[in-house]
Amino acid sequence: MSKSKELPPTRRSSLMQRFALLGISVSTALLFKGDNNLNNAFAGDLSSGHALVGAPALPFVSNEGEQNSNKLREKIADEFGIEIQTLDEVSTAATAARIFNGLEGLLFSYQDWNEQNLNLLEHTLENLPEKFYQPDENGEKVHIILGPLTHCGSSIKNFMPFYPREIMLSSLYFRPEIPLSATWVLAHEFGHLVTTDSCRQTDSPYLDKIEEILGGNFDQIKQDLSGEIQTQAEQSDLSIEESGFVLPIDSIKTPVQEAIVRLTRLKYGLSNQEEFIAVIAESYFLGKNYFQRMYAPFFPQDVVDNLYEFARYNIFDGTEYPDYPYYSCQA
């Protein structure tokens, strides 16, 4: 029987304290600047295509507000059987690491999610299958790191400990005004976590399954499909973001905006099989009609149906979702 989900409806740290750490941070960061793993970890999120928009100024949070946030963080961790830590808590070089995220990363304390951010995180987890966050067969819990970026996998070499099942999340994606986008981002990251063992497994059976469904070698399909996407974009006079960045899903108001999102995300999914699966997961979360609009223009209907069923049973454990609030016109 099909299961379904109904969607539920930072403190600015002392600037002087941040600048006091700047001298040490710069020298430390430059020391690691040549580390490809580090650069990829931080630059990689910039190409991950998540719905990042201009962030508002982070409000000051009192000590009482910080204590309330910490209690809420503990409550969420206990409720879902996960670990939630901040980048500063797990890394002695967190400030140096933020060098690679630019000036904003130095001035703002990303570890201090406020109560609104955390409440939204709690609601997003409630809307995802228990399979996503339950401990694995070895008892290994999911580690959510509250940091400056959003990505899957512990790949920040020399800056933080290794956690086998880790997702880093930025509060910028968990703002009350974009609740749908917050769950969409988590669906993407957990799509990685569920199918490629925290983004580290290169021989996952799910990768072979995707090629089986597509009916060919992924690299060849990527080459053919990239051309088709570009042709459709040019014919429709649409601009695809090469980085993968898109509007927050909550902000889509017109068929043209949605078409840009779909083409941008589909092209980003062609980066590799792992991202193709994660984009399938994020698209599945937006409902069956959106999924059809996403894939039907490029694949035979039987392939589209099989991709949907792959997401339904292999990633989302049978859970299905209603179509996201859609404008009253056709894309």
Q: What is the pLDDT of residues 35-55, one digit of tens each?
A: 333 233 223 333 333 333 333
Between CA 265 and CA 282 the distance in angstroms is: 10
Range picked from 10-19, 127-136, 148-157, 281-290 for highest mean pLDDT: 281-290
Q: What is the pLDDT of residues 259-271, one digit of tens each?
A: 999 999 999 999 9
Q: For residue 275, what pLDDT band results from cuts at 50, 70 and 90?
A: very high
**How much is the pLDDT for 72?**
93
Q: For residue 136, what pLDDT band results from cuts at 50, 70 and 90?
A: confident
Q: What is the pLDDT of residues 139-168, one digit of tens each?
A: 999 999 887 777 776 555 556 677 888 898
- Pick the residue with more confidence: 81 or 97? 81
What is the reported pTM?
0.78
Torsion of CA 94, 99, 105, 111, to 10 degrees: 0
Only one residue has tokens 């949605």, namely 258
CB crowding 42-65: b at 16 or more within 10 Å, else e: beebbebbbbbbeeeebeebeeee
The CA–CA distances, whole Å, from 157 to 37, 140, 257 equal 6, 21, 38
Between CA 8 and CA 208 the distance in angstroms is: 35
**How much is the pLDDT for 217?**
93
Q: For residue 9, what pLDDT band results from cuts at 50, 70 and 90?
A: very low
Backbone angles phi, psi at 272, to 5 degrees: -170, 175
The CA–CA distances, whole Å, from 148 to 42, 88, 107, 125, 292 equal 9, 10, 11, 20, 34
